[in-house]
Structure 1
Amino acid sequence: MTKPTLDIQLKTLPTAPGVYQYYDVKDNLIYVGKAKNLKKRVSSYFTKTHDNGKTRVLVRKITNIKHIVVATETDALLLENNLIKKYQPRYNVLLKDDKSYPWICIKNERFPRVFSTRRVFKDGSEYFGPYTSMKTVSTLLDLIRGLYHLRTCNYHLSEENINKGKYKVCLEYHLGNCKGPCEGLESETEYHENIQAIKEILKGNFKDSLTLFKTQMKTYATNMAFEQAQKIKDKIEVLENYQAKSTIVNPKISNVDVFSIMSDEGYGYVNFLQLSYGAIIRSHTLEIKKKLDETDLELLELVITEIRQRFHSNSKEIYVPFKVDLGDDIKITVPKLGDKKHILDLSLRNAKYYRMERFKQIKITDPDRHVNRIMAQMKADLRLPEEPRHIECFDNSNIQGTHPVAACVVFKNGKPSKRDYRHFNIKTVVGPDDFASMEEVVYRRYKRLLDEERPLPQLIIIDGGKGQLSSAVKSLDSLNLRGKIAIIGIAKRLEELFYPDDPIPLYLDKKSETLRIIQQLRNEAHRFGIEHHRNKRSKTALNTELETIQGIGEKTVIDLLKHFKSSKRVANAKLDELEEIVGVSRAEKIYNYFHKK
């Protein structure tokens, strides 16, 4: 696959939050950055004049851009930190030192302490985070210590030491902040129940703690202790508004490869995330051209092997969206819930964004391939016998029952063909009757195409439900075109697609390109019909006003409009200008009418 130029890469970047990576001509990673809006941030490097000489040098060296899409700005910040620490790009300096983000540690010991740390050790302790603010960590620890009585000492509280009476309670016990496990005044079981509740808070499950907080607040309020009740209320608000941890990093997920896939008619797109010590250190998406009608399972098994060889991955576990067969040496996990599922969803999201960008790039560099793909997709989605290269869409317009008109818009190869648009004035129908009007215009349109031996469309779309679709089908029957042209109706509200003789509507994915083109057709037909209706009403009102002038007939009105183009210009015309068109007598009548008015 040819690498897109920088210009094309910039045009097709997503507007989502994420991390961008700049590479030089030798494919070395030279800079990593985060962005709330990837497209806006990355484009600014190439559109602004930079005062910093180092930034100007960086921009000149960029030959390729890669990115990883994430859910939030916080995730982007954390992922940026991980990638800079891992690869230490030449133009990143701020995060190369040993400073890291804070974690909350539940120490692996008999009566676990809970404290903040910036270093993670593989000693069996549990770590939660990282957090982007030390203030957040302090708030959480204050909340935890206010709710549960935990020790803060670093004594080795083995059963033997406690039984020997080696330790004595400290001031924290007398202040009511600790229950004295050092003297055996609190059981190990009771203490671990509190630790379990704290773990739930750190995982983001605040339900039990909130219930207890609210009970405490009500108790304080009942006892008129309003100051204490307000403090508890403040803690409740912090808990309710806080997200306990990032979806990007989880220390329990280590040395794991994550793969996801999505595909269309001709290509598959596989995203690979590599996790080390709970952090994403690599993201790569591979595009595979299908030779036959390969399944997602076949493609994924092939690509997993290729990518793991390419990046020398020795991970013993992989996360995938469905079971794959890679031998007995690798543990296959299909996540359904929790952090593992979030990581898999993130991988799929990156695959989707990559596919969207490729479509945008192909649309610029290879428009024929883009059109062929769209047509093949529409044929499959709409269950058509052939690709809908030529589509016509009809819409009626009769606002408040006056001046009934209809519009026909034409799309060729998925794009508007405006020179083929047609307006229709309803001739045979009296009053506002959408069904009869639709039957008339569809008949007139295809009767004329047949008479003139012009090409017929592969698909007709009727803007309306079953009733209007049935009326259009009657016209096709009378012209012996039933079965020769596919026809569907689209409901105005629910995006339901109706087929003749099928009572069950078809629902397309709301994000599908097929539905997007159908909606574009319908909107264009509606706009074109309303425009014609508006012009017709304006012309009628205009003609009516000119014809009310005594002594001015229809032919005179037509002559005036042909020359002046509008009634406003007729009203503002000088007397001698009017005389040149309609003569002295009628010119005076028109001039006097508008100027007296």
Structure 2
Amino acid sequence: MGQAFDSVAFLAHCSSHPGVYRMLDAEGRLLYIGKAKSLKKRLSSYFRKSGLAPKTAALVARIAQVETTITANETEALLLEQTLIKEWRPPYNILLRDDKSYPYVFLSDGVFPRLSIHRGAKKQKGRYFGPYPRAGSIRESLGLLQKAFLVRQCEDSYFRSRTRPCLQYQIKRCKGPCVGLVDPAEYAEDVRHSVMFLEGRSNALAEELWAGMEQAAIRLDFEQAAKLRDQVALLRRVQDQQSMEGGSGDVDVLAAVVNPGGACVHLISVRGGRVLGSKSFFPQVGIEEGVGEVLAAFLGQYYLANSERDLPGELIVNAMHEDFSALASVLGEQRGGELHISHRVRATRARWQQLAVANAEQALSARLAHRQHLATRFEALAEALNLVELPRRMECFDISHSSGEATVASCVVFGPEGALKSDYRRYNIEGVTAGDDYAAMHQALTRRFGKLREGEGRLPDILLVDGGKGQLAMAREVLQELAMPELILLGVAKGVTRKPGLETLYLNDASHEFTLPADSPALHLIQQIRDEAHRFAIAGHRSRRGKARRTSSLEGVTGVGAKRRRELLKYFGGLQELSRASIDEIAKTPGISKKLAESIYAALHSE
């Protein structure tokens, strides 16, 4: 046991300047990073004799060393704190796990612009609309625009290579600009209407379309009038769904809810007075924190730690915090304009705020109910397997292929809080006989636990293998080969009828065979993990198979680049006809020599 941290001696020499502090344990592991206007005053609050919350007391008990960095002011302390938290992710800090950038609708430049989903840096020339909190929200908008205004959404490379209209034209989702079936002026008008919708000017757009419909009717152009009527109907339908329409400006509305089981921050994104969508976040809370602390940590990590975030002019929150003044100043500089953090709001903004709070409460309640449900299943499994302690980590492997093609092994990971998707892994299986699931499993397990022996990753408490006796024996063989520590092996074999609820289970080896009642929570957990491994393996297999089938047999031929591939396919009318051609026929293609034709023929007939 190491010597206790001498807080009295440390505080006696601690600076009162603003800065950042780092708390470490006896082994030098980082526990917590914080900032303070006065380092001495803030750190003194951790070492008082009473009044600490239980989780904070647990943190203080582990402290063996405190390091400080003095900064010029509170703003610099805030920026340094967020940089360090993002880099080190200490266990006792509030941590935001989802740091992906939000998607935008991108309208490209050109005579026939394209609408698409865009993430990341805004380097392409064109206009960006958003951000949208969820990809689902953006797809809804693009789907509506495709139905209403028929602006193309295909890739530019696909657009340039078309010689006849595609399916989107046939189903009236595009006007065929790729083959000149629409006048540029008419297309530009469709683009202008799409922009009006994306800017949130739906009412003005509907009125303009309505006026155009009336003019078309006066001219007795009833076909055009019907098209405009349908466009107005689509817009009105969206406005009916937008119950929070009616505000103005660009706003992010954030509401935090905290209870003993965890925390949730719900964000509603408003642009041009129109709600684009919302999303719930569940930050990791290491010590007791109030709503204000969670919001302050969330704003810092969400906006400051990701410079590509779109910053609106106003953030509406459901609680205030002393750091918000410094945050607003820093975020305003990052935005290049003034930014306000508001708490007391009225009218439409108050409705947005109430909606965010209600969504945060609902999301956290549902998450905790799910956790409780999962905890019950884990307890039942521990009882069924006669375990002394609850398993904290379960891994399940499965194999997927089509008649041996594009074999993929999946590994999914579950804990008492649910699926640990960041720990999921897929393994592309190579060098085994097609359809040999045992060899595929051997390779996947060797790769997974071979890395573990080298010090990478964590050992599971239970290794679950889908496939019964044979796969269980294979798993045991791999663990013996690698001289791995003992861990619980659980094989799952489908019953004779292959119906859920009739599985046969094997504990550690084939001699320990048992079943569980169909209504057993332990069996339901095993089925849930097994089904998730199956889903993940199939998704990986389909992706790999699709990629293999999309890859041209010509891509590996030296001297045949994209241009020559196009010429070959154009000359023969497709890969199938090219495959039937002889070497002499291939050599007749412009730019293809006899020697190159021999290489192409060999590549096409190598299987």
TM-score (norm 1): 0.31
Normalised by the length of structure 2, the TM-score is: 0.30
Higher relative contact order (CA 8 A, sep 6+): 2
The structure with more radius of gyration: 1
